Amino acid sequence: MKKRLSIQEYTNGIIAGNRMILSRAITLIESNLAEDKQLAQCVLESILPNTGKAIRIGITGVPGVGKSTFIETFGKYLTTLGKSIAVLAIDPSSQLTKGSILGDKTRMEDLAHEPFAYIRPSPTGTSLGGVTNKTRETMLLCEAAGFEIVIIETVGVGQSETYVHGMVDFFLLLMLAGAGDELQGIKKGIMEMADLIAITKTDSGNEISANLAKIEYESALHTFPPDGSGWFPQVVTCSATQKKGIAEIWELVEKHREMLSKNGKFVENRKSQNLAWMHDFIKQSLEQNFYTNHNVSIKTKEVQQAVIEGKKLPIHAALELLKVFYNNK
């Protein structure tokens, strides 16, 4: 059994860039044990002064768009520039083991062997909100470990994108050519959140359809109202396998940060995200406390059956459970 590390040992190891201790710290914050949660919060408090310096990038896209292939190529390009990067991949969870199914270390094998890169898959578990908190905390640990760029990869276009958008500085949406069909299958809200749309797999023979898709997306973006940051989302084409357009994407990320830093929106966004994190955590903690309450658990079995049989309105059942919860506080 591994020796339990102290707060100071965790802190010193993380700040020194010790990958093994960083991984143990991430495992610690993912734990549901009460004693681990307390220690994790202490570690996070101690490394907080060393966080906030990294560029945080969220990357999402429709299934089959090649997110992992893109991230591997993009990540390797960044390491050639001397940048250190951490990739946090939100993977779907196995309902049996609760662990990651996709295993991004195996999907990004080349990047995983880069000395300036660190890849950490995070299982979604049963609650998206819970994963979001763990991802935020993991991001802080990686920043304290000295990583200059933190990339968060999501499972696909859906609810998780809204959460990830709320914790990054730059949100990149990867899309495939064939804009007419794709625009029908993607939520307008996801496109509105994007700082950049990159049409992937623009390989030899696919340039015409990719350029047509680029025009379609540019036209769609012009129908959205400005977000107040001063940045207007752009559309580019790229090929991860042929390494085309990768440098341009990084240039746009840097240009975006420079613009928002100058007009004060960068710091403003970070502050808003921290407040949102606080309120999210309050909601999640209240929900967890509610459902783990012993008396509520007993009463739930009773009222659930009444709701199923149509003998009780769901709203009335909920109010009964809330009353039990507050009366036993």
pLDDT, one tens digit per residue, over 210-252 is: 888 898 888 888 888 888 889 999 999 999 999 999 999 999 9
**Residue 122, class by beta-carbon neighbours within 10 Å (0-12 exposed, 13-18 middle, 19+ buried)?**
buried
Nearest to 276 by CA among 136, 143, 122: 136
Question: Cα–Cα distance between 57 and 164 in angstroms, integer?
Answer: 9
pLDDT at residue 168, as a whole number = 96
pTM (two decimals): 0.88
Q: State the CATH architecture for 1-49.
A: Up-down Bundle (1.20)
Evaluate if residue 160 carries a pLDDT over 60.
yes
Cα angle 207, 212, 218; round to 5: 125
Evaluate if residue 34 carries a pLDDT over 90.
no
| Every domain range in the chain assigned CATH 3.40.50.300 | 51-263
User: Helix and strand tally (H, E) in the chain?
Assistant: 15, 7
Length of the chain: 329
Q: What are 126's two structure tokens?
A: 């049963």
| Every domain range in the chain assigned CATH 1.20.5.170 | 1-49
Per residue in 5-33, pLDDT tens? 999 999 999 999 999 999 999 999 988 88
Evaluate if residue 161 carries a pLDDT over 80.
no
CATH 3.50.50.60 applies to domain 51-263? no
